[in-house]
Amino acid sequence: LIKDIYRNMEKYLDKEIEVSGWVRTVRASKKFGFIELNDGTFFKNLQIVFEEDLDNFKEISKLPVSTAIKVKGILVESPSNKQPCEVKATNITIEAESDSDYPLQKKRHTFEFLRTIAHLRPRSNTFSAVFRIRSLAAYAIHKFFQERGFVYVHTPIITSSDCEGAGEMFRVSTLDLGKLPLDKDRKIDFSKDFFGKEANLTVSGQLNVEAYALAFRKVYTFGPTFRAENSNTPRHASEFWMIEPEIAFADLKDNMELAEDMLKYVISYVLENAPEEMEFFNRFIDKGLLDRLNNVVESDFETITYTEAIDILKKAKKDFEYPVEWGNDLQTEHERYITEEVLKKPVFVTDYPKDIKAFYMRLNDDDKTVSAMDLLVPGVGEIIGGSQREERYDVLERRMDEMGLDKEEYWWYLELRKYGGVKHSGYGLGFERAIMYLTGMKNIRDVIPYPRTPKSVEF
């Protein structure tokens, strides 16, 4: 395995080895040639040197890119400083020859083009690096929470409630769209549907996981979530993964501390365990990425209130597209201005107006704001959204009425407030946004293997 060869070179040097993999490039002259071989185990390729004494020298010299081969040879130190070692081939066999119209030839391709070949793009350097980081970051997140005694809860994908109350849900139904059954008010009669009532893909596991926090104290979910937001932006996807911890006996401050510790842990873990990939991003995708991430790990995040954020934006000598007004939600341009141009580090914005946040957030004493926090980071904007939860039965009921929610649908959620419903808090980290932040990639479509966005569900 190429990873092991690079990591434990001494073990293999001057010995005969056998490797198999896919040809990334071939260069050959009349007497010798070089193959860059990738076996899938490592971000880096292994250089294979072959000479005219191979009986199939001519054939190997013209191997189409992406052909799968098996190589026997001796691992030697490389005379060039481009790679530490290379294989002097004694035998090369072709396992699966590639057609010559393979679309991923050596030249640079745009990310837009690579999205049209999502089934092949993990073979390119950039996407090989992105999806290795994605896997490692997922592992780091589980490791972080498990080491701290959090219980991993699998919340349902199909649900009947709308956690965010924003109505941005994909319906799950077996009804024939051509002949929908109607009730007496000529509305769709969901009692005739598969689940006997309206069902949707979840927008968040939070409501379900809150119940588990009140049983296990510290819990988290990590799963796919779905949003039918019709926003075609570089940071919105219709299907994305979310990490949602929830902790009992915890207020907003505890919540922010957890978020900060988690993010620093994941950054450190990835820097330590994928140095080659991170170096690649730093060189080719986002110059300064490594310095920035190292600084983040070493310094404290900033905290400001929403009201302070509005003040900063009002004083900004900058024309924003969306108006800055107390009561309006912060738009990406506002978030990025604050975190990139003013504070230049991750910043928690707290205590948003209640009218622009979800019903479950704890109402502050001013009766105007809620105990919410969003974490904004340079390059991405909002990466985390969270809050202390409204644990007071009567206040929660009132908020649900004000927001026009059907309390009967949320009966079990309300009931949690009756039976030891202590203060509790949690947040959601958008996993793709975290990967954008870790890699410097600028489009969410390029950090999820098969992106789903409006008008796009290929592959």
Please identify, using beta-carbon distances, which residue of 19 and 375 lies nearer to ligand 4AD: 375
Residue 429 per-residue DSSP state: E
Sheet containing 302-305, strands listed edge to edge, beginning at the edge strand earlier in sequence: 151-152, 218-226, 239-248, 424-430, 381-388, 372-377, 347-350, 302-305
User: Are 20 and 68 in contact, with CB atoms under 8 Å apart?
Assistant: yes
- Cα distances (angstroms) measured from residue 240 to each of 19, 437, 446, 449: 36, 15, 12, 11
Q: Restricting to residues 149-168, name those near ligand 4AD by CB under 6 A.
A: 163-164
Q: How far is the CB of 357 from Mg ion (least distance, A)?
A: 8
Q: How far is the CB of 408 from ligand 4AD (least distance, A)?
A: 21
Please identify, using beta-carbon distances, which residue of 399 and 433 lies nearer to ligand 4AD: 433
Task: Please report the beta strands in 97-169, taking only residues with DSSP state E, as ranges in sequence order.
Answer: 151-152, 158-159
User: Are 213 and 205 in contact, with CB atoms under 8 Å apart?
Assistant: no
Q: How far is the CB of 327 from ligand 4AD (least distance, A)?
A: 18
Angle at 451 between CA 285 and CA 280, to 5 degrees: 20
Q: How far is the CB of 138 from ligand 4AD (least distance, A)?
A: 15
Please identify, using beta-carbon distances, which residue of 72 and 148 lies nearer to ligand 4AD: 148
d(CA 127, CA 62): 26
The interface region with ligand 4AD, picked from 96-104, 129-137, 239-247, 334-342 by CB under 6 A, is 239-247
Residue 204: contacted member of Mg ion, ligand 4AD, none (CB under 5 to 8 Å, by partner type) = ligand 4AD
- Cβ-in-10-Å burial (0-12, 13-18, 19+) of 217 comes to middle
- Cβ-in-10-Å burial (0-12, 13-18, 19+) of 285 comes to middle
Quick note: the x/- pattern for Mg ion over 366-385, rule CB under 5 A, is: -------------------x
Contact between 428 and ligand 4AD by CB under 6 A: the answer reads yes
Q: How far is the CB of 448 from ligand 4AD (least distance, A)?
A: 9
Q: How far is the CB of 223 from ligand 4AD (least distance, A)?
A: 12
Q: Which residue has the tokens 């915890």?
A: 250
Please identify, using beta-carbon distances, which residue of 65 and 237 lies nearer to ligand 4AD: 237
Q: Which residue has the tokens 């207020």?
A: 251
Contact between 386 and Mg ion by CB under 5 A: the answer reads no
Contact between 427 and ligand 4AD by CB under 6 A: the answer reads yes
Residue 328, φ and ψ in degrees, nearest 5: -85, 150
The interface region with ligand 4AD, picked from 122-130, 133-141, 186-194, 382-390 by CB under 6 A, is 382-390
Please identify, using beta-carbon distances, which residue of 75 and 429 lies nearer to ligand 4AD: 429
Contact between 45 and ligand 4AD by CB under 6 A: the answer reads no
With b for 16 or more beta-carbon neighbours within 10 A and e for fewer, the 436-452 pattern comes to bbbbbbbbbbbbbeebb
The interface region with ligand 4AD, picked from 83-91, 234-242, 317-325, 408-416 by CB under 6 A, is 234-242
- Cβ-in-10-Å burial (0-12, 13-18, 19+) of 339 comes to buried
Binder of ligand 4AD out of 433, 435, 439, 446 (CB under 6 A): 433
Residues forming the site for ligand 4AD (CB under 6 A)? 163-164, 204, 206, 227, 229, 236-237, 240, 242, 244, 382-386, 426-428, 430, 432-433, 444
